[in-house]
Structure 1
Amino acid sequence: MTETTALETTTLEKLDPRGRQIVFTGARTSNTFADTPVTDDELADIWELTRWTPTMANTQPLRVVFVRTPEGKERLLPHIAEGNLEKTKAAPATAIVAYDNNWHEEIPNVFPIRPEMKDYFESDENARHGAGGWSAGLQAGAFILAVRAAGLAAGPIAGYDTAGVDKEFFPEGDWTTKMIVNIGHPGENPWFDRLPRVDTEAAVKWA
């Protein structure tokens, strides 16, 4: 298991302007991809960053399938909507970002101070799926930022057949697809013009 050293709270630093641009303000969804390969080491680096995302009680329900072989793409492409098909074909890797429906089974390992929580979530399916989906949402957002931080372009897509992907890749029903993200190096004309952000005055209130 990889370990990290916690930052001292008195030495927290801002991400520099270039880092902010790469991860946040300058990053765009990539709509085309170059034929430059993405290595398994690069994909592993994305996960290594993602796995440190905060989650409820450290439960970490997110799971990922990195589809990067012709055989894997053949299984995935029939379930992708037509408008997303070409970009998914072109991307050297596509991540099926899912969550583990049985994430609670890891609680004794990842949250050993409250092992009895496993039994609670085992007995309450609604609570299990609600809490799992909430934490997986945190991790899914961080996954996109991790792709960018690893020096690659992310192209999350919403147009796909969730049931079809789940049946093909998770036939036992243990994982559920939450998001699909194309990954690679930007191709020709990869970005749309930057679209407006919601005005801060409309999105933020102070109390």
Structure 2
Amino acid sequence: MAEALTASTLATLFTEARTHNAWQDRPVSDELLQQAYDLARMGPTSANCCPLRVVFIRSPQAKQQLAPALSSGNLQKTLSAPVTAILAYDPAFYDLLPELYLHGDARSWFTSSPELAQETAFRNASLQAAYLILALRSLGLDTGPMSGFDQQLVNQTFLAESGWKANFLLNIGYGDSSKVYPRSPRLAFERVCQII
């Protein structure tokens, strides 16, 4: 049985963690990005389908390629972030299922239904992206997930060769806590949950 996490760890992952829009001038190492992915990849996905694909954008040249796809409200915070990840999914994730799902022929479930494949890829890559945010937080990094970008342009500029599709963008670094907005309210359990 898993042990409960400490209050300090829960604060790091959830209660005190914040979305950041301003960043310290501190680099994020390749090793930390790999360590975060190695943690996130262990989270569950249906049929172990693992459709998440990530492009980490760090170089000034790549940031300039990304800039035209950003909404005006996301431009400065993204250009100043040490790393921006394109959190994408592979629509053809099922081609790796013979390697990933060892309990039967799961590939055929998805090749026979493009709608099911699309829904599965998007849902499970979104789950994996959330795991990645928590993994980054657990390693002392801050994040700023974003919509507010031209998905088609990001796909054309960064993902066309692979065939992957962008889901959302994630700024990664060491946040400037002096520029964090006050926390917005969250909905209480009684308003959104049922136990039946």
TM-score (norm 1): 0.91
Residue type of the alignment partner of 1:119: S
Aligned to 1:6: none
Is contact 2:83-2:172 (8 Å) kept? yes
Distance (whole Å) between structure 2 residues aligned to residue 75 and residue 25 of structure 1: 35
Residue type of the alignment partner of 2:131: A
Matches within 5 A, 1:143-182: 143-172=132-161, 174-182=163-171
Give the number of equivalent residue pairs: 196
Q: Secondary structure at 2:131's aligned position in 1? A: helix
Distance (whole Å) between structure 2 residues aligned to residue 128 and residue 204 of structure 1: 29
**Structure 2: 5+ residue runs without aligned partners?**
none
Q: Does 1:39 align with 2:29?
A: yes
C-alpha deviation, 1:173, in angstroms: 5.9
Give RMSD over aligned pairs: 1.2
Matches within 5 A, 1:51-66: 51-66=41-56
- Deviating more after overlay: 26-35 vs 70-79: 70-79
Q: Secondary structure at 2:18's aligned position in 1? A: coil
Matches within 5 A, 1:127-146: 127-146=116-135
Distance (whole Å) between structure 2 residues aligned to residue 109 and residue 190 of structure 1: 45
C-alpha deviation, 1:190, in angstroms: 3.1
**Structure 1: 5+ residue runs without aligned partners?**
1-8
C-alpha deviation, 1:122, in angstroms: 1.5
Aligned to 2:172: 183
Distance (whole Å) between structure 2 residues aligned to residue 20 and residue 30 of structure 1: 18
Distance (whole Å) between structure 1 residues aligned to residue 147 and residue 87 of structure 2: 12
Q: Does 1:103 align with 2:119?
A: no
C-alpha deviation, 1:146, in angstroms: 1.3
**Cα deviations by residue, 1:84-129 (Å, 9 ceiling, x for unpaired):** 1000011000000000111000110000211x22123122211111
Identity %: 36
Aligned to 1:4: none
C-alpha deviation, 1:188, in angstroms: 5.7
C-alpha deviation, 1:172, in angstroms: 3.4
Counterpart among 15, 35, 41 of residue 25 in structure 1: 15
Is contact 1:37-1:184 (8 Å) kept? yes
